[in-house]
């Protein structure tokens, strides 16, 4: 991840979801994100924010255009290679947490390490450390249904950071939380940013977006405003 130039670069990227009525979700996206930026993405529902994050997070592929992650073309990678890139470099935080309900917090957090090939002792040690970092040492054996929304999102953040990813992508991470839990989650994202992580945050909250160094606004699948790091 040490190549010079932008960490993330999209060129002429478009995404059309196939189907009886194909949906054009993204068009003509040009985007460069430098290491260490904190970018907020805003826009009305359906404007393509999640689709953009899924492509940046290697959860999905563009239909058109190029995606370079740290100088490497990832748009054309096969499923296994794409999953490996995602697991190693990217942490994802979703609005609805996406935890496995039958696994404990500890097991959920250690999950990405299974794909990374770590043994049980290492998984446990690192998952405990990540849960400690988000202040959940007292909840490691709880399962998601036994946790509050704020606690679930902190488990999800611990899972997202366990591989020390260079990039955290957060898709409305406070959307299902009360304001206090939301502030805690945001505090963690800002702390990760201060320690060098590149963060991209989708939010409907203008106050949160205001705290980001850069703001991107989307409308109908296009970027209609990009402060381009001018606020950094």
Ligand X SMILES: Nc1ncnc2c1ncn2[C@@H]1O[C@H](COP(=O)(O)OP(=O)(O)O)[C@@H](O)[C@H]1O
**Two tokens, residue 201:** 């945050």
Of 96 and 146, nearer to Mg ion (C-beta) is 96
Q: Which of 14, 35, 36, 46 touches ligand X by CB under 6 A? A: 46
Would you count residue 197 as binding ligand X (CB under 6 A)? no
Contact 51/63 with Cβ under 8 angstroms? Answer: no
Q: Which region among 6-14, 43-51, 147-155, 187-195 touches ligand X (by CB under 6 A)?
A: 43-51
Residue 195 binding result from ligand X, Mg ion, none, given CB thresholds of 5 to 8 Å by partner type: none
Q: Distance between CA 93 and CA 134 in Å, rounded?
A: 14
Binders of ligand X among residues 51 to 80 (CB under 6 A) are: 51
**Two tokens, residue 218:** 């989307």
Would you count residue 174 as binding ligand X (CB under 6 A)? no
User: What residues contact residue 99 under an 8 Å CB cut-off, 6+ apart?
Assistant: 108, 144, 152, 155, 156, 159
Of the candidates 182, 179, 122, the one whose C-alpha atom is nearest the C-alpha of residue 157 is 182
Q: Distance between CA 137 and CA 174 in Å, rounded?
A: 21
Whole-angstrom Cα Rg for the chain: 17
Would you count residue 114 as binding ligand X (CB under 6 A)? no
Would you count residue 50 as binding Mg ion (CB under 5 A)? yes
Would you count residue 48 as binding ligand X (CB under 6 A)? yes
Q: Which of 31, 42, 47, 155 touches ligand X by CB under 6 A? A: 47
DSSP reduced 3-state for 53: helix
CB of residue 49 to Mg ion, shortest distance in Å: 5
Of 47 and 70, nearer to ligand X (C-beta) is 47
CB of residue 202 to ligand X, shortest distance in Å: 7
Residue 174 binding result from Mg ion, ligand X, none, given CB thresholds of 5 to 8 Å by partner type: none
Q: Distance between CA 161 and CA 203 in Å, rounded?
A: 20
Q: Which region among 33-41, 44-52, 60-68, 185-193 touches Mg ion (by CB under 5 A)?
A: 44-52
Burial 112-127 (b: 16+ CB within 10 A, else e): bbeeeebeeeebbebb
Helix extents (H) in the chain: 49-56, 79-89, 105-115, 120-133, 149-161, 179-194, 206-210
Residue 130 binding result from ligand X, Mg ion, none, given CB thresholds of 5 to 8 Å by partner type: none
Of 49 and 68, nearer to Mg ion (C-beta) is 49
Residue 46 binding result from ligand X, Mg ion, none, given CB thresholds of 5 to 8 Å by partner type: ligand X
Interface residues toward ligand X, by CB under 6 A: 17, 23, 25, 43, 45-51
């Amino acid at each position: 991840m040490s190549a010079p130039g932008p960490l993330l670069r999209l060129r002429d990227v478009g995404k059309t979801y196939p189907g009886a009525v194909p949906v054009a979700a993204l068009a003509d996206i040009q985007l460069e994100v430098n290491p260490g930026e904190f970018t907020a993405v805003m826009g009305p529902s359906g404007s393509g924010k999640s689709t953009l994050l899924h492509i940046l997070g290697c959860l999905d592929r563009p239909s058109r255009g190029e995606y370079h992650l740290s100088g490497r073309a990832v748009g054309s990678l096969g499923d296994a290679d794409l999953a490996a890139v995602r697991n190693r470099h990217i942490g994802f935080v979703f609005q609805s947490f996406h935890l496995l309900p039958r696994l404990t917090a500890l097991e959920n957090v250690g999950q990405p390490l299974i794909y990374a090939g770590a043994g049980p002792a290492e998984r446990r040690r690192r998952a405990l450390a990540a849960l400690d970092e988000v202040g959940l040492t007292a909840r490691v054996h709880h399962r998601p249904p036994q946790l509050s929304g704020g606690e679930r999102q902190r488990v999800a953040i611990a899972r997202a950071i366990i591989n020390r990813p260079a990039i955290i992508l957060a898709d409305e991470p406070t959307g299902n939380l009360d304001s206090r839990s939301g502030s805690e989650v945001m505090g963690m994202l800002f702390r990760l940013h201060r320690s060098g992580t590149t963060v991209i945050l989708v939010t409907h909250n203008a106050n949160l977006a205001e705290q980001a160094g850069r703001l991107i606004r989307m409308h109908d699948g296009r970027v209609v405003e990009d402060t381009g790091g001018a606020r950094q």
